[in-house]
Amino acid sequence: MTNLAEVKNDMPAADLQSAQMNEWFEKKFEEEMKKREAAHVPSMALIATKGTLDMAYPPFILASTGAALGWDVSVFFTFYGLLLLKKDIEAKVSPLGNPAMPMKMPMGPDWLQNMNIPMPNAIPSVIPGFENVATNLMKKTFKNKGVASIEELRELSLEADVKLLACQMTVDVFGFTHDDFIDEVSYVGAATFLPEAQKADVTLFI
């Protein structure tokens, strides 16, 4: 079997020099790519559009988790997602908006707490105060399971330097003022957020 050294010895000087340059370049390129990958900070851009209690968890859980991993995270809150940036979060469960959502009982025997109780849309629509009951049940269930509240997750995100971005157009359309929101919010437009989302390693619409 002919080894590589023997092949190189039989090559013309010009071809040998070219082969050595190619070998050096490939090795150098691989080394530089490894350095670049090691130095790269992953980034994530989230778009939050909903303000109900059940849909408030995904953006803050993903944001706080990504930041805990050392990622550069930004969340763009637009339309009803803006409600999650208010000083006092009043998010409620909306079974009407999510008919597949089961109800959980936070009290009683284990068999009852583990049971999924489907709620047809007709029930919430005719029972006054049903959303308040459903909201309290979900909050109690989450607390029993050791899940942080929305306020706690938002605070964790801020402590981890997650960028909370409010859509200025939606702020204007809904008649909000900056005083309605927590101080850490930055106000931007889609033209500012989109280039950031384009460069992100992970982009999610929630």
Task: Report the predicted TM-score, pTM, of the whole model to 2 decimal places.
Answer: 0.71
Q: What is the pLDDT of residue 67?
A: 95
Q: What is the pLDDT of residue 93?
A: 79
Convert the pLDDT of each residue in 6-58 to its tens digit. Answer: 555 565 666 667 777 777 667 766 766 666 666 688 999 999 999 998 899 99
DSSP letters along the chain, please? ---HHHHHHTS-HHHHHHHHHHHHHHHHHHHHHHHHHHH---EEEEEE---SHHHHHHHHHHHHHHHHTT-EEEEEE-GGGGGGGBSS------GGG-TTPEE--SSS-HHHHT--EE--THHHHHSTTHHHHHHHHHHHHHHHTTPPPHHHHHHHHHHTT-EEEEEHHHHHHTT--GGGB-TT-EEE-HHHHHHHHHH-SEEEE-
**Could you tell me the domains of the chain?**
43-205 (3.40.1260.10)
Q: What is the pLDDT of residue 141?
A: 74
Q: What is the pLDDT of residue 80?
A: 94
Give the mean model confidence (pLDDT) for residues 55-70: 95
Give the mean model confidence (pLDDT) for residues 96-119: 57
Read off the pLDDT band of 159 (50, 70, 90).
Answer: very high
- pLDDT surpassing 60 at residue 1: no
Convert the pLDDT of each residue in 194-205 to its tens digit. Answer: 999 999 999 999
